[in-house]
Amino acid sequence: MTRIDAAFARLKRDHKPGLVAYITAGDPDLARTSELLRALPAAGADVLEVGVPFSDPMADGPIIQRASERALRSGATLGKVFDMLARERAAVDAPIVLFTYANPIERMGYEAFVARAADAGVDGVLVLDLPIDEAAPLAESLRARGIAPIFLVSPTTPPARVRRAGELGAGFLYAVSRLGVTGVHAALSDEAGDVVSAIRGSSSLPVALGFGISKPEHVRAACAIAEAAVVGSGLVNVIADAGARDDLVRRACEHVRWLKGPA
């Protein structure tokens, strides 16, 4: 059983809400990213989503865009992210999902990317801007190395593409709760339930619901209809506010505990 499958099986067995925690690799630097990867699972992160910084993150709102800018200024690259993950893998039990745009993969080369991801112990890969109609070659290469290809499903994804995402995907499907870019919102979108229902009708994979989840009540609402909630911008904001402070990791862990709620 893969680490991702084991994580969702454990959540189901224990009747617990799941939390996928997103951080941008290299923000504020890769050394702090390493510390966060080691600390966040104990605070309640069931899956770690590691964003590869990119100069044109079109699906991301201002908070994660600025995190990418800081990470790039700190010298983070896809190759250095893989090096860091390889060093930390033995110390991190939680599944690690790489969250990236297609351009860094294309620059590295698809075969080299898959090999580096496998060597680094990556459990899943989500490519935000890779159309599902073009995803089969990469998905098959990832699955051949034991890595789950993970796909986004949005409120406007046609039913045929939802089915295809379930066929090509593994681990879980990422349900986008609202149209637009990532960010912090006051309430969970009314469209969230429709997206999850569309996935349930086409796939038996677990569902993680994201985009706009920033409060404990959002997590509870998301996990009432999905297996996990994804927190991104809210956590990235905490990291940004902490900056170079010594208590950055403590603050991030407190935020995850607050979101997850009582054990």
Q: Which residues are catalytic?
A: 49, 60
CA dist., res. 156 & res. 99, Å (int): 21
β-partners of residue 153 are: 175
Instruction: Tell me which H or E stretch contains 202.
Output: none
Residue among 248, 160, 261 nearest 218 (CA): 261
Identity of residue 250: R
Structure tokens at 62: 């201002």
User: Phi first, then psi: what are they for 118, rounded to 5°?
Assistant: -65, -45
Residue type, 134: E
Q: Are 54 and 19 in contact (CB under 8 A)?
A: no
Neighbours of 90 (CB within 10 A): 8
Beta-carbon count within 10 A of 196 CB: 21
Q: How far is CA 81 from the centre of its chain?
A: 15
Asked if residue 33 lies in contact with residue 80, where contact means CB atoms within 8 angstroms, the answer is no
Evaluate whether 204 touches 239 at the Cβ level (below 8 Å).
no
Tell me how long the chain is.
263
What tokens were used for 259?
A: 């979101």
In 10 A of CB 71, how many CB atoms? 26
Q: Decide: 20 and 229 in contact? Cβ < 8 Å.
A: yes
SS3 146: coil
